[in-house]
Amino acid sequence: MKPSPSAAALLRSPLRRRAKGRPIAGLALACMMSPLLGGCIPDLQKADITGSIFPVKRATKTAEPTEADWRELAEKSGKRYEANPDDKVAALAYGRSLREIGQHQQAVAVLRQAVLRAPQDQALLSAYGRALIDVGNLREAADVLARAHTQDKPDWRVLSAQGTVADQLGDHPGARRYYEAALRIAPDEPSVLSNLGLSYALSRNLPEAERALRQAAASPKADRRVRQNLALVLGLSGQTAEAESLLKEDMTPQSAARGAAYFKQFAGKPRLIARAARGADTSPPAMEAKPSGRAAANQPPARHERAPAIDTSKPIRQAGPATAKANRAAGQAAGETPPGLPLRPSVE
């Protein structure tokens, strides 16, 4: 059996053809929320500038930042960025926080200017590519992300983001090759496994989707997005009791029950799943998140082409989204994308 291509091979091989099929309009605009503590603003001088930036410090394994935390960071990093637009760390933190509070076009504008000032900077290119995915500029995102890492030093986060672009353009086999390459660099990374599971779900392969998402959810690094994606696939497979139990970890019992009821309309109906993935009106009910962290204390408050083929005889170890209009139609509650379709790819 021939080995699967390395990450370097994916970077080196020219992509000759654009993916067939139109962009998937049913995928929500939702960037990765890392399991970090809300309320702690970081020292921007120490921010991670080699890959994706984590602008809120970790204090526990389960606490996640609130929208108020991201807004506070946006205000502070924005002032620093405005005082010195050449400050790369401030630009990264400002762009990330803008994405987290839904200011996607502004994030694109900030990161575009940063890239114009430093066109070879891979951290900025990586952040800019992710922001482009948020606003649905998929082909430009593909071109930018291709420049965000090199053959001799591939970045698993960039590979995963490239996979989400391929998925959203309908090239699910190509997307899974990107995820496979990312997992060789970062084995068992839950955000990549979650994206892999969603890719299988979009291909109507629910058993493989469940396998990947269970593996992702078992990780101590898994966040509520991963758990909700697993709940979605379980619900689509008819396992609504387990899906509802999983939703209760992050939601009120009433919201979890509504989510489980929503899943039932898709159970055993792959045509409906595919229709939702193409952007049909299958919006779930709005959900109320279970308060956590500081929020609980303060209540109420470019082109894309197909990835190179590989020998499929070797087992594989292993998500813009739509437009802002499609995202609004998903009936999001503040600070949370409801479970159910649209799916929630991780583009951290």
pLDDT tens by residue, 33-65: 222 212 233 333 333 332 333 334 433 444 678
Looking at the DSSP bridge assignments, the partners of residue 333 are 336
Domain annotation covers residue 157? no
pTM of the model: 0.67
CB 196 within 8 A of CB 174: no
Domain annotation covers residue 265? yes
Per-residue confidence (pLDDT) for residue 63, from 0 to 100? 66
pLDDT single digits (tens) 162-216: 999 999 999 999 999 999 999 999 999 999 999 999 999 999 999 999 999 999 9
CB 64 within 8 A of CB 292: yes
Alpha carbon 203 to chain centroid, angstroms: 18
Which residue range forms the structural domain that includes residue 72? 23-148
- CATH no. for residue 232? 1.25.40.10
Region label for 24, one of left (φ > 0), alpha (ψ between -120 and 50) or beta (otherwise): beta
Burial 304-338 (b: 16+ CB within 10 A, else e): bbbbeebeeeeebebbbbbebebbebbebeebbbb
**131 and 47 in a common domain:** yes
Calpha distance 329→314 (Å, rounded): 40
Per-residue confidence (pLDDT) for residue 268, from 0 to 100? 65
Domain annotation covers residue 15? no
Q: Which of 266, 120, 256 is nearest to 206 (CA)?
A: 266
Domain annotation covers residue 79? yes
Calpha distance 294→82 (Å, rounded): 28
Domain annotation covers residue 278? yes
**136 and 34 in a common domain:** yes
